[in-house]
A and B are shown apart, each in its own frame.
Chain A
Amino acid sequence: MNFPVLSVIVFTPLVAAVLILLIPADRKNEVRTTALVASVFALALSVWVYAQYAINAYTGYQFIEKMTWLSVGNLHIDYHVGVDGMSAPLVLLTGIVMFTGVLISWGKDDPHGPTGIQDRPREFFAFLFLLAGGVFGVFVSLDLFLLFFFYEIAVFPMYLLIAIWGWVKTREYAAMKLTLYLFIGSVVALIGALAMYWTAGQATGTYTFDMLKISEAQQAGAFNGLVNFFGAQVPFQVVWFLPVFLGFAVLGGIWPFHNWSPDGHVAAPTAVSMFHAGVLMKLGAFAALRVGIMLLPDGAKYWAWLIMLFATVAVVYGAYIAFVQTDMKYMIGFSSVSHMGLVMFGLSTLNRDGLTGAGLQMFSHGVMTALFFAVTGMIYDRAHTRQIPELGGMIKPLPWAAVGFIIGGLVSMGMPFFSGFVAEFPIFMGVWQVMPIAAIIASISIVITAAYIMNNIRRVFFGEVPANLEGHISPITALDKVAIATLCLLMVALGLFPWLMAPMIQSGVNSILTLLGGA
């Protein structure tokens, strides 16, 4: 038997969470060291998976592990994990964000105010790692039940992390709003998943939550029947696609269900914002793709126009709202809505270019936004404000942070030689093939994005340091620098060498296109 690398990746943070809880509460540095070791281990394994993923010998899912979890009567649940070209980059992304998130949260008890997490770091890292384990789990799940299991594990720690360690002013409101939005989305999707389970089982005679089996059943026509929808006879896939896709896409920040997301970003502590915008939102888009589009392809074709409509609005509206924000975190939060809108935009094309772009954009945006939030957190910890008008000249005390933010800004604007370009270009190409007008409307966002990013860079990092902050800005720690450098290098590398990732994502796109029938 091969080394069960995916299980080890998933269970590393979960086991680490338990271990961390067993450390006495006042041994804060031991807690942090354990967290760092675990995150390095998980990152190393996810890099290994990424490197070992065989693109040429494309055989569907790789690193598969399968075990029966429950098999009683008509109920069959497997522990079934594996990665394809779509999920391998996201596993890597999670490893990176987890690693940098731990570095950022380390901080120190500074006389000008503590940075990082100083209050109950033991509980903080335990909950954060529970979240990370859930995220890894969703990306590798090949069983619907397992996917929901990990999905919920990824949702509820957010509540605690935001409510306990978040920004005092809005944390209770934002945490509850976020949890309720995501929970509603996931349970609505759950009903859809159960409907798929029974329908596929009745058609084939084998009842199983295994997504590969359900997909086979779908290809054999199990979901082609009609269902009674308030008296009307409507195709199964048409009825269930929207609840399933939108239920997950809530977490992807799809307009008009994005409202929880900027509030959540703003209220969350830095590392949690990084996780939230960096990987959790991808979780929504990914699950919407895996369960919505891949298991209900005809439904996806039927409703693609609606998803594209939502995505177009999200792209432009998110960018515009970001433009008028004065709080840096709100600005980044709405820019995330806009950029995740581009992911949905790519998914809605259902063609090769658009899907490839969506996959790249998920990775690129994850790294970029983690960097944005890391830098913003560093500034806020020191200046105690995130209001853009109250800041200025930060490049002098915090050169690393400034360079990081500028590189992130270039990615965000979609500049060539940065990962943003590599991702956004195929998306627009894909949309152009389907509906040129949508591409034209959405391209407005590029201009707005450039405007708010440059404006922000100018006002926060250049000019004079405000008098009240003069001398109060302590330099960032070496660990923070490592985090910034890691994230920046990734974005530049992907921008210069798209072949590092694009072929892998295309190999994943191939199988989606097969399900969608030809093309």
Chain B
Amino acid sequence: MYTPTMLLAILPEILLLTLGVILLVVEPFWKAENRRNAGWLTFGGLLAALLISLLFARPADPQTVFGGMLRYDWYGFFFKMMFLFAAAATSLFMMDHEKLGRRGESYLLLLATTLGMCLMASSADLVMLYLAIETTSIPLYVLSGFMLDDKASTEAGFKYLLYGAVTSAILLYGFSLLFGFTGTTNLDTLGNALAAGPNMSGLVFGVILLLLVGLGFKISAVPFHFWAPDVYQGAPTPVAGFLSTASKAAGFAVLLRLFFAAFPGFASWPSILAVVATLTMTIGNLLALPQTNLKRLLAYSSIAHAGYALIGVVAFSELGRASVVFYLLAYIATNLLAFGAVMAFSRITGSDDIKDFSGLSRRSPWLGLAMLAAFLSLAGMPPFGGFVAKVIVFAAAVDKGLYVLAIIGILNSIIAVYYYLNVLKFVYLYRMDGENEEAHPIPLTRPYAIALVVLAVGVVLLGTLFGPWFDWSNLAALNLF
């Protein structure tokens, strides 16, 4: 039965689709030299979609729409806004990329995957959820391997596809078992059906492991992280930035919703996740230490950050959920800033080896500052968002008496400080070999300047005026199921 709320519930998706269609129709008629403007169109459209949704499509009380397929609530809405924001920033980063910038289809793929993520965040049914995950993944496989004449990129695309296909099959198997146990695919009734049915904790444990494989791949948690470094390094940098932020946040959105809705009574999964979180943080950070390529380092760091965010999930409380949502928000802004700065640098120099960042602060003081803000925020230093996010996650852990996990998190963030500061050492301390840095400036084109400034200001705002942001995260977390 049709109601106007149904349209409001999918307003962001409708706008994304409309934008995609406009892009598809308009772009072929442009001259080759004007095709870069597709980026401005995408950016402007995403920004408009963001504003229109914020103005008109704010949810009221949670409700399910489309026959229980989607949930219209703050949780999904908040994540959708994050995805739109991340996509808007990414479209700016793509514009001056040599291979992506002048190809309309790259922007279209970005919009398609964002559409999938929006659906992931609001799915209330296993079938819908699986479709959404696939809608998200397939454009990302293509984007990762977009540079056909680049071996690393094609390898990245193919590797991502293989990993994605296998883990998604395993996830689907887990879904089918859940359906078999309960006779329903609806998340709302699933939890009750599981709890009311006969005691099958052994089987449910197995199902949880299957689901963890699929979602662990999305959030690049250990031991399902192997794809991440190769894909991040090989994929075009803006795509890698999008993969490491929005795609990971989408994975977390599903993980939180699915586990809290389907298995609230099964005490075993927080302890499984505690082990996963420990491994993810530790292995991510330890492997980040010896990296010499900045994109690879960021890949391992983003694995480690998935681990920190998992601490909030393990805490299994309202505050824990809110802390995860806030953590993801801060992490998206921070990591996009980091990837954007790397992109702006390597576009000019053609390299993303850490040693080539020597003298960056003299070559471009502003880009140096952007790197400073991004890496200090990743390291969890105030006044940047990373600090607040980390403190709140640890607070959620200590609240539930998870001292050991909190201490593991702390030891890990100390390791992380080492390699983040090490990067800044190249940016600020070392000089270019025998060159005068001022003769090698790094000009920023307008899209980069806009995106980097907005992201840097955002990272500082998240770290200082964090009240409203956390308020919204909390609202989202309360509306989870």
Contacts and interface: CB of A to CB of B under 8 A. Distances in A.
Residue among A25, A152, A198 having the largest count of chain B Cβ atoms under 10 Å: A152
A309 interface: no
Contacts, number: 96
B376 A156 contact: yes
A155 B414 CA distance: 14
B424 A184 contact: no
Contacts of B422: 176
Interface of B (DSSP majority class): helix
Interface residues of B, number: 39
A25 B414 contact: no
A176 B319 contact: no
A179 B406 CA distance: 20
B14 interface: no
B428 interface: yes
Contacts of B410: 187-188, 190-191
Nearest to A134: B382
A256 interface: no
A172 B395 contact: no
Contacts of A155: 381
A233 interface: no
Given A74-B319, A74-B399, A191-B394, A179 B383 contact: no
A176 B428 contact: no
A152 B376 CA distance: 11
A305 interface: no
B54 interface: no
A198 B400 CA distance: 9
A70 B463 CA distance: 12
B399 A198 contact: yes
B365 A73 contact: no
Contacts of B403: 191, 195
Interface string B387-415: 10001101100110001001100100110
A149 B382 contact: yes
A145 B322 contact: no
B412 to A, nearest CB: 10
A390 B76 CA distance: 70
B155 interface: no
Interface stretch (A158-166, A317-325, A431-439, A467-475): A158-166
Interface string A166-207: 000001100010011001100110110011011000000000
A163 B372 CA distance: 14
B470 A70 contact: yes
A245 B359 CA distance: 40
Interface in B338-372: 361-362, 365, 369, 372
Given A191-B394, A197-B395, A73 B382 contact: no
Given A75-B395, A195-B398, A164 B322 contact: no
Interface string B453-481: 00000000000001100110010000000
Interface in B101-141: none
A123 interface: yes
A21 interface: yes
Interface string A340-353: 00000000000000
B179 interface: no
Given A163-B429, A164-B428, A152 B381 contact: yes
Contacts of A68: 467
A145 B383 CA distance: 12
Nearest to B410: A187
A514 B395 CA distance: 30
Nearest to B399: A198
A120 B474 CA distance: 43
Contact of B382 (A21, A122, A123, A152): A152
B8 interface: no
A420 to B, nearest CB: 35
Contact of B428 (A73, A150, A160, A187): A160
B417 interface: yes
A156 B381 contact: yes
Contacts of A180: 414, 417-418
Given A152-B382, A152-B387, A172-B425, A183 B417 contact: yes
Given A75-B392, A149-B382, A179 B417 contact: yes
A157 to B, nearest CB: 10
A184 B376 CA distance: 16
B470 A72 contact: yes
Interface in A104-132: 120, 122-123
B318 interface: yes
A74 B400 CA distance: 13
Interface in B405-446: 406-407, 410, 413-414, 417-418, 421-422, 424-425, 428-429
Contacts of A198: 395, 398-399
Given A179-B421, A194-B394, A187 B322 contact: no
Interface residues of A, number: 40
Residue among B379, B382, B470 having the largest count of chain A Cβ atoms under 10 Å: B382
A148 interface: yes
B470 A145 contact: no
A166 to B, nearest CB: 9
Contacts of B383: 149, 153
A302 interface: no
B421 A159 contact: yes
A497 interface: no
Interface string B308-337: 000000000011001000000000000000
A183 B394 contact: no
A48 interface: no
A73 B315 CA distance: 15
A180 B413 CA distance: 10
A143 B385 CA distance: 19
Contacts of A120: 361-362
Contacts of A122: 365
Contacts of B381: 152-153, 155-156
Contact of A75 (B319, B387, B398): B319
Contacts of A195: 398, 403
A148 B470 contact: no
B414 A184 contact: yes
A180 B411 CA distance: 11
A183 B470 CA distance: 25
A191 B418 contact: no
Interface string A81-107: 000000000000000000000000000
A190 B394 contact: yes
Given A123-B361, A191-B398, A21 B417 contact: no
20 contacts: A74-B319, A75-B392, A75-B395, A148-B391, A149-B383, A152-B381, A153-B381, A153-B383, A155-B381, A156-B376, A156-B379, A156-B381, A159-B421, A188-B410, A191-B406, A191-B407, A191-B410, A195-B398, A195-B403, A198-B398
Given A150-B382, A152-B387, A180-B417, 6 more contacts: A74-B399, A75-B319, A75-B470, A164-B429, A184-B414, A197-B395
Interface of B: 318-319, 322, 361-362, 365, 369, 372, 376, 379, 381-383, 387, 391-392, 394-395, 398-399, 403, 406-407, 410, 413-414, 417-418, 421-422, 424-425, 428-429, 466-467, 470-471, 474
List the 5 closest A-B pairs by CB distance, nearest first: A194-B398, A187-B410, A70-B467, A72-B474, A149-B382
